[in-house]
Amino acid sequence: MAKKSAKKETGEIVYAPSRPQPITETIEKNYMPYVMTVILSRAIPEIDGLKPSHRKLLYTMYKMGLLNGNRTKSANVVGQTMKLHPHGDAAIYETMVRLTRGNETLLHPLVDSKGSFGKQYSSDMKYAASRYTEVKLDSFCAELFRGIDKDAVDFVDNYDGTLKEPVLLPTTFPNVLVTPNSGIAVGMASNICSYNLGEICDGTIAMLKNPRITAEKLMEIIKAPDFPGGGDIIYNAEDMLNVFTTGQGSVKIRARYVYNKHENCIDIVQIPYSTTIETILNKIAELYKLGKLKEITDFRDEIDLSGFKLTIDLRRGVDPDKLMQKLFKLTALEDSFKCNFNVLVDAVPRTMGVPEILSEWIRFRMGCVRRELAYDLKKKEEKLHLLLGLGKILLDIDKAIRIVRNTEKESDVVPNLMKGFGIDEIQAEYIAEIKLRYLNREYILNRIEEISELENEIAAIKEILGDDLKVKALIAKQLADIKKKYGKPRKSYIIHSDDIEEYKEEENIENYNVRLYMTNEGYFKKITLQSLRGNDEQKLKDGDFITFTADTDNLAELIFITDKCQLYRAKVCDFDTTKASAMGDFIPVKLGMDSGEKPIFMRVQPSYPEKENFVFIFENGKGVRVPVTAYVTKAVRRKLVGAYSDASPIVAVLYEKEKEPFEIMLLSNVDRAIVIKTSLIPIKTTRTSAGVQLMVLKKDQKLVAAYDDFATRFEETKGYRKIKIPAPGILLSEKDITKQQLRIE
């Protein structure tokens, strides 16, 4: 902003021009701090499997005594969390909601909840306000906090320096792979799926025993993700190994269903974790309105207190398994979870596979365990030191009492004890604080007996600290105990992709014989032969006429070529069956053509054989043959641009079968014509080739028509035939000119 300068004599304020800021400086000073904050303090989880918002919330609940205490109002927790997380109550409460048992977002919920917390599988089921719901930490959270009071992790000041909060939680299991997590930062994102706790514990133990274990061996233990919503994971070994080793890829999940024979309905009891029931219902409703789900009579949401259920009522005789194959193909009942295992390790975002994440977690956990052991060692050594001092008192308790009794000043008690027994200040303070009732031989002897126990414990701790293998063995024992206590069977079943019968639309579409019509104005009719027996008089728009007719079946494939150099593919079954008395489908609308685009050619095209060609005739008198193989594409493309040259407007599109060249008559706007064989027209493999001159045209002359059925249109055609190109046109006879003018009128 410009700065104010001194006023002029007139009183007018003059603004000094501001210094323009280079974009590089703006990015460095304004944008980069924001980027780093979002990446490091918002969106990407760390090696403990938590984002900062999760960690602050859970630690607040831990300090509130909610691990073992009774539930408290959610609003209370939200308010306390603001001391660590200075954000709005709505954002904090929404974070809590996803961690609750009631929301069903996690395989192992971290918050024990009471009240309505919505559902992960529904976008319409909203959670109640925080003043109505109650929460406490689930007992499972004990594994997140174990060792936190023993200096297992670092602590830092909160935002205003009034409280301390942990940098990470010392999770005793790889929570990063058990708790699903997703977040979008700036320029990067993270999307981590959940794995089964038992499998993760077993896999981590295997890696602790053999750090060089191969990914393939590890995958035999950690088979596949395990989603809180269940469903069936479609297991493709190659894809799953890619996700497992790189942390990127996708996992296909499909819904699980049960057929209720008595009520003739399908009950869908689990859906993919990545979708919602509303998305599925909306898609089914859309397909039903389009007439693509004629097998069903009704569908509804039947979620209740017993859990998820989506019910589909079937028509009599419908095969439920085939219908589900169709729904898997057309709806989100089969969906993909996009994996992106991006984790912060030592404040650096890294995309890692499962083995690498487990390796980093083991390194992190070994550090936590060492710090816990060091804490215990220090405490035990301090206690041993005190007891050794107490042991010296045992030699002469009466002497200790005399020293205390005969000391005039309180401040001299400790120095006199130090002198009298040769102990240090800490030991003397401990002895001076012993209550009078404890100054008996029994108490002191009991304390002395602890010395040998402490010495053994200290030796054991030092032995563990001095051997990485023993530290790993301790971690492995903890993991085995966690699996035994909290492990659950898989929720997501594994089905191999080879065992899945893929839905083929053709097999589920009724086939019957039909006759197809396309008109000059672009209308299309599909009429059954049975319907034509009663009435074959076609209703057309005024001035319109039929240009193409074909007999085929309902499963045939069609191609349409338009006047805008584009080719469209469709299936006969894409069009509705109609009657001769109806106008039919308007092709540009049905196929989604561009504005003003019009079909000029239609053909049933089941395949693209070699040595068969499209023949294109242009207004400038040129023509070209293009092999149909030039229109084969790797993927099935419904629309193909650049179907032919746009150098001159198209006059006609014809089709030449293998070894069946035919004659065509070219007619100009000055009533001159030639008849040539298509074999004279050169073949060009490039679709957009402009072709060669077929008919000699003078200035302001152009071709207006090309006929392959000219024998029915003209009286005598021998004189028009040419055996070389380009050829000049021959003037039509008076009869033919008159006939053509009558046709045009």
**Tokens at residue 706, please?**
């090309």
**Tokens at residue 690, please?**
């402009």
Sign of the CA dihedral running 293, 298, 304, 307: negative
Look at strands 622-627 and 342-345 and give their pairing: unpaired
Q: Using DSSP, state whether 438 is helix, strand or coil.
A: helix
Helical (H) or strand (E) element with 175:
none
From 15, 31, 34, 132, active-site residue = 132
Cα distance between residue 189 and residue 253, in whole Å: 22
Cα distance between residue 613 and residue 444, in whole Å: 109
CA distances from 728 to 314, 618, 672 (A): 68, 16, 8
Angle between helix 425-432 and helix 413-421 axes, rounded to 10 deg: 120
Name residue, tokens 């639309």.
505
**572-577: long-range contacts at Cβ-Cβ below 8 A with a sequence spacing of 24 or more?**
572/514, 572/516, 572/526, 572/604, 573/509, 575/524, 575/526, 576/291, 576/526, 577/514, 577/526, 577/527, 577/528, 577/531
Q: What DSSP assignment string belongs to 351-399?
A: E--HHHHHHHHHHHHHHHHHHHHHHHHHHHHHHHHHHHHHHHHTT-HHH
Cα distance between residue 355 and residue 378, in whole Å: 34
Q: Using DSSP, state whether 57 is helix, strand or coil.
A: helix
Residue 116 contacts residue 127 (beta carbons within 8 Å): yes
Cα–chain center distance at 164: 37
Residues in Cβ contact with 582 at an 8 Å cutoff, skipping those fewer than 6 apart? 525, 539
Q: Using DSSP, state whether 568 is helix, strand or coil.
A: strand
Residue 280 contacts residue 271 (beta carbons within 8 Å): yes
Cα distance between residue 31 and residue 666, in whole Å: 68
Sign of the CA dihedral running 165, 168, 173, 177: positive
Name residue, tokens 């679709």.
687
Residue 653 bridge partners (DSSP): 616
Radius of gyration of the chain (CA): 42
Cα distance between residue 623 and residue 614, in whole Å: 11
CA distances from 435 to 398, 404, 441 (A): 15, 13, 13
| Annotation says 132 is catalytic | yes
Phi, psi of 300 (to 5 degrees): -160, 155
Fill in the DSSP letter of residue 723: S
Residues that are catalytic:
132
